[in-house]
Every structure is written in C-alpha cells, then in structure tokens.
Amino acid sequence: MKIDGNKWIYFELIKETDKTQVWDVINKSSEEPLARISWYYQWRQYVISPEPNTVYNDGCLDTIIKFMKRLNIEKKLIEG
C-alpha cells in the first residue's frame, strides 16, 4: 500500500502485523527510501529511522510528523 505524502515523498507499507506496521518514506523523484517508520516498543510509539546522508526540509518533516501522529493515534485506538 502507498500513501501520498506531499510533492516530494510518499509512504509505502513494508510490513504489517495484527498490532503494528512498518513504513518506508520514499523520495518520489528517485524512488529511493529516505527513512523507515516503525513501532518502538520501549517508548510505545512510532519512530523514524532515517537513512544515512539524507536531508529533509521543513515541509517533508511536517508531513512525516503528521503521518507518525496518525499512526500513533490509530495504534492507541486499536489498544483501547
């Protein structure tokens, strides 16, 4: 599954279990992964792990943050 992010990035679902998901942040121009968003159980929230030597502008970071907040809200709704 792919979800459009903004003019420069999209999110691609890589793995899904009954409780969590793993997403890649993909550069629309190069189709290269920029980062991975996954569940970090120690903090009980989704976190981002950027690829080495990647850079982000404020628009991309804002889009990524909104996406992660949505994932965290959905996870809390599933947990009850």
Does residue 8 surpass a pLDDT of 90? yes
Over residues 28-32, the mean pLDDT reads 96
Q: What is the predicted pLDDT for the residue at 18?
A: 86
Q: Average pLDDT in the 30-48 region?
A: 97
Q: What is the mean pLDDT of the chain?
A: 95
Are 51 and 41 in contact by the 8 Å Cβ rule? The answer is: no
- Domain ranges, residue 23: 2-79
Q: What is the pTM of this model?
A: 0.93
Residue 80 pLDDT level (bands cut at 50, 70, 90):
low
3-class DSSP assignment, residue 45: strand
